[in-house]
Amino acid sequence: QVIEGGVNTLARESFIGNGSIEKLILKGALLEIGESAFKQCTKLKEVVIERPEGNTKRLNLCDWAFAECTSLESIDLSSVATIPYGAFENCTSLSNVTMPNETYSIGNKAFAGCKLTSIDLTNGETLGSAAFYGCNGLTLMALPAVKDTNGTGFAVDAFAGCFVVGW
């Protein structure tokens, strides 16, 4: 599935439960992926976000944008400013995530229940509660001095249920 051209916003629940999308290529001037837009697209394996040369606007993801996409393995989030509440919650095959090079925020339960083994949060600004809850394969991460949504440091339960051996 390729979405391109003059599409600026994908509405809430646009493709929810679509069982035929396996690869998603988002091109052009897309600015927002609505709440639950691709939730439960269980055959979706890969998402590619292609930004036009010179486009400095960052993509806005809404809550649960890709939640429960159980076949999703890889996504490049380098053009995203905020990874909101439950954006990839229970994406049980998600093992490869490219994080933004610019500052960004990760909301509550954003990656809860994913298969991540490592994550680079170097440019992270805030890290919400249970952001990586149950990512029991997570063994290595790079952390900055992130803050939780209250501005007091990252949420103490951000990595609950994880067995992290390297920082």
- CB-based contacts of 90: which residues, under 8 Å, 6+ apart? 67, 68, 70, 112, 113, 114
Do residues 79 and 61 make contact, with C-beta atoms less than 8 angstroms apart? no
Tokens of 103: 């500052």
Cα–Cα dist 144/142, whole Å: 7
Mean pLDDT over 148-165 rounds to: 69
Cα–Cα dist 153/161, whole Å: 19
Q: What is the pLDDT of residues 97-149, one digit of tens each?
A: 998 888 788 999 999 999 998 888 888 888 899 999 998 888 767 776 555 55
pLDDT of residue 17: 97
Q: What is the pLDDT of residues 42-100, one digit of tens each?
A: 999 999 888 777 777 888 999 999 999 999 999 999 889 889 999 999 999 999 999 88
Cα–Cα dist 82/143, whole Å: 17
Q: Average pLDDT, whole number, for the chain?
A: 86
Cα angle value 142/85/159 (rounded, 5°):
35
pLDDT of residue 150: 56
Q: What is the pTM of this model?
A: 0.90
Per-position b or e across 97-106, b if 16+ CB within 10 A of its CB: bebbeeebbb
Of 160, 152, 161, 163, whose CA–CA distance to 126 is shortest?
152
pLDDT of residue 145: 58
